[in-house]
Amino acid sequence: MIVPRTSRQEIMAKLKSKVDKKIPIFIASAGSGLVASLLEKAGADCINTFSGARLRANGMGTMSMMWPILDSNKQTIDYTREDIMPAIKGDSFICACLNANDPLKDMRCVLQDLKNIGVFSVSNIGPSISYVDKDSEIYRVLTKSGITFDNEIELLKLAKEMDMVSVGLAFDEEDSLRMVTESEPDIFCFHAGTTKGGLRGYDSGETIEQTAARSEEVYAELRKIKPDVMLIAHGAALENPVDAQYILDNTSCDGIWTGSSTERIPIEKAVYETAKEFADLRFPEK
């Protein structure tokens, strides 16, 4: 197996071409090689790998990655190298989502390890401190312990210095403005919240109209800071292609990032329905 190689320059040229042609960028997460190969075949520009997707592929909710049941960065690098890279042909590029707050790893070494296996893009979502509510006691304890958003910003700055494509992510306007101002990512995704739907989704009760409106408020501010940043929408009520089209129609984003929407939810539905048909089969009556 010879894994295809790419570069920051090649990735950015492809993405800018899509933006110029007004074609939405399509980013999707994969927790298995099968899903990655299908996403690439379907036309995904970028396939994200992260510990949440790996756990999601095993039937757990994405947020289970917040619990210390694995070495998040090791998990991401190992399954990216062994499951994802050999499964793709090079039409999609891989973005590894890292835990920038890992106290046992030098992020420069982690980024170099990724480049060595052919990964030239990283994000700060594996997991991010942004998942934790800022007004909570656990957030204050974590930040006091050195688990900070600052480390995530520094990770993305270092990635660009190492000639990688940086994909920033944040959950609210304050962090979004900080991320784009300080790390100047090539791509920025406003994470509107955990995706609803399926067996493990979380439904906050928000409508797609509300998700779009919240996202656009952030995009408008970010465009003032860095007009050329590629803005991506993700999460909350963005559950299916109809929802995604609404986002494209009603925000100034440059594309969509799917996770559960193109992995967990369709797998749950397809496998269950097909397996149920087999389970309901009966021998003919004699």
pLDDT of residue 279: 98
CB distance 230 to 13 below 8 Å? no
Q: For residues 212 and 214, what is the distance between their CA atoms, to the nearest angstrom? A: 6
The 8 Å CB, 24+ separation contacts for 65-71 are 65/126, 65/127, 66/127, 66/131, 66/132
Domains of the chain: 8-272 (3.20.20.70)
pLDDT of residue 156: 98
Q: Which residue has the higher pLDDT, 193 or 178?
A: 178
62 pLDDT above the threshold of 70: no
Q: How confident is the model at residue 214 (pLDDT cuts 50, 70, 90)?
A: very high
Quote the tokens at residue 209.
Answer: 């109209």
Cα 263 to its chain centre, rounded Å, is 12
Look up residue 204 and give its amino acid: S
Q: How confident is the model at residue 212 (pLDDT cuts 50, 70, 90)?
A: very high
Sign of CA dihedral 114, 126, 231, 236: positive
pLDDT of residue 63: 60
- Beta strands 255-258; 25-29: pairing state: parallel
Residue reference for tokens 């994969």: 30
Nearest to 122 by CA among 174, 173, 189: 189
Return the percentage of the chain with pLDDT > 90, whole number.
74
Average pLDDT, integer, range 21-38: 95
CB-based contacts of 72, cutoff 8 Å, min separation 6:
50, 51, 65, 98, 99, 102, 126, 127
pLDDT of residue 66: 62
pLDDT of residue 64: 58
Q: How far is CA 169 from CA 49, 98, 137, 144, 147, in A?
A: 14, 11, 23, 22, 16
Q: How confident is the model at residue 200 (pLDDT cuts 50, 70, 90)?
A: low
Over the stretch 241-262, which tens digit does the pLDDT of each residue have? 999 999 999 999 999 999 888 8
Over the stretch 121-145, which tens digit does the pLDDT of each residue have? 999 988 899 888 899 999 999 999 9
3-state SS string for 39-72: HHHHCCCEEEECHHHHHHHCCCCHHHHHCCCCCH
Nearest to 122 by CA among 151, 163, 159: 159
Q: How confident is the model at residue 211 (pLDDT cuts 50, 70, 90)?
A: very high
Q: Is 271 exposed, middle or buried (0-12, 13-18, 19+ CB in 10 A)?
A: exposed
Phi, psi of 163 (to 5 degrees): 65, 40
Over the stretch 9-26, which tens digit does the pLDDT of each residue have? 999 999 999 999 999 999
